[in-house]
Each structure stands twice: as structure tokens, then as C-alpha cells.
Amino acid sequence: MQLPQAVEARNAGLPLDLAWVRSVQANGSAIERRARTLPGRRTVKKEFQAAWLCRAISCMDLTTLSGDDTEGRVRRLCAKARQPVRADLLAALGMEGLTVGAVCVYHEMITSAVAALQGSGIPVAAVSTGFPAGLSPLPLRVAEIEASVAAGATEIDIVISRRHVLAGNWRALYDEMRSFREACGDAHAKAILATGELGSLRNVSRASLVCMMAGADFIKTSTGKESVNATLPVTLVMLRAIRDYHAATGWRVGYKPAGGISKAKDALVYLAMVKEELGDRWLRPDLFRFGASSLLGDIERQLEHHVAGQYSAGWRHALG
């Protein structure tokens, strides 16, 4: 079961509004206090928890981004994307046909992923623009996006230049992201902010806003390669930037936390935060994704516990 994709217009962006960007602030202590309260106050149990975990699977970018990736590994990952949970468990849950939101790979593995997913409706996402550092020459990064789209990727996870954020050069960040969006064509552009390297929550908020102004379809926390990846305070800042942008423009922009989310209970917290800050419309794969690999195994264990009343060993839920 793949949830239907949106039919509403993509974020077209708008001219860079430096006054709006510079007016953005972030109260760090208040943000961290709010983030700390959520895990202890928001919980779902029994069949409701199982339903939320199935929703998390449907919003997952199943990912392999290792230097030793092979075509065989990608094919196995795609098989898991088609059948993320054992068929008997899905039948017991009434969730036959459940699939993940997308498969995310390096450019070299796009062709293999597209072939393995043919007929499934599962999109292929490719990391691009000199992932993970984003320090390649700009013409090469644009050419990489164009090559990935030509190879069949329908979503491009784009690394921004952190130096533009750290220097407060918002015009350079806007122009860069705009050129990336144009290179994507019909493919969705997911801007990776690498929030653990941006220095402050205020920078995270401002960078989120600038990327949305430049036409990003999603804003994403991390490459997964930084020492600090997705966190609840960063998520709160980015969700509120999305909310403010939607209120001002009417365009909905997606959100993707990536890196460090490996437990089912953590996925539930992120889903609860998205629901409270943005509403139910964002709890669908066209507007929310988990960048994850090991998360799926723990969710499958929790679903088996719900159905059978006991936990299975983690090795029984391998990705490929």
C-alpha cells in the first residue's frame, strides 16, 4: 500500500526577501525545553502504535550510501522496499501492499535501483552535488543533478554549501539552491542543510527559509555523515520555518529528518511532533520522509511483537 502522492502545486519559490530572513530568530532554551517535553508526553499504544509505525514505513527513504555499495546490495534493498515487512505480519495487520516512500542511493546505483523497482511505483532518490561535503565546483554539481535525473531519479537530495550559511551570505545560498532546483526539472529537490554544521538554531531557521524561497520541495536535516544529525530541537525549528512559509505563501514544503533515527519509539516522537506543528496533511510521503536504514528493522520487530506477543531477534529483520 503506497499512499497517494499530492496533486497540489509544487513550491515555486519567491524572490529572496532579506528583511524576512534577517528577522528570523531562535530562542534556544525555549526550543530545547519544548523538545524535551515531547517524548514523555506523547505516546500511542497497541493497534494505534502499530498503525503509526506502518505510517512511518510508508514515509521512509530506505537508504544505502556506503563506499562499498554494489548493484547486488541495491537490488536487495529494493526488494526490501517492495516488501518492507513480512507478508504474514502485514496480513495480520490488514496492511497488505505496504511499501516504503522511496529508495535513496548514490548516482552510480540509480540504474540498478530503477530496474529493481520497475512497476512498484516507488521513486528513486539520488544524493547529489558532491555529497556529503558539497564542495565540488558548482558547474559539476549542477551537471551531477542533470545526470541523475537523466538516469531516472525522480528525487534529488541536494547538499547545500554550509559556508554560505556560516558567512551569512544568503544571496549566494539562494542563487545556488535556485540553480539546483532548475537543474532538477520535474524531479523533486530536497535541500540537505547539514544542521549539525551550521553553528546555531538561528542559522538552521534562516537557511531553511532561504532554501524554501529558492524553490526547495523538501528541507532535510543531514547527510547522515555528520557527527550530529537529526535532533528534536532542529526538527522543531525546521517545522516552524515550514509552517511560517506555508502561512505566508500557501505552498507546502516537505520535511526529512535523517541520521541517528534508528528506533521505532524515536520515529513515533518525530511523527507526533510533525502532527502537532504542521497537522495531518504533512504525515504523508509527499511531505514527510525519514532518511533511514536500520530504523526499518526495529519497526518490523515492534510490529511482530504486536501481532505475536513476543520480540524476535534483530537478525531476522535484515535489510537485504
Distance between CA atoms of residues 288 and 284, nearest Å = 6
Give 288's DSSP letter.
Answer: B
3 state DSSP class of 60: strand
Q: Give catalytic residue positions.
A: 157, 220, 256
User: Using H for helix, E for strand and C for coil, what is the string for 104-154?
Assistant: EECHHHHHHHHHHCCCCCCCEEEEECCCCCCCCCHHHHHHHHHHHHHHCCC
Whole-Å CA distances, 10 to 215, 218, 250, 286: 8, 10, 10, 10
Looking up cell 528541507, which residue turns up?
Answer: 219
Q: How many helices (H) does the chain have, and how many strands (E)? A: 13, 8
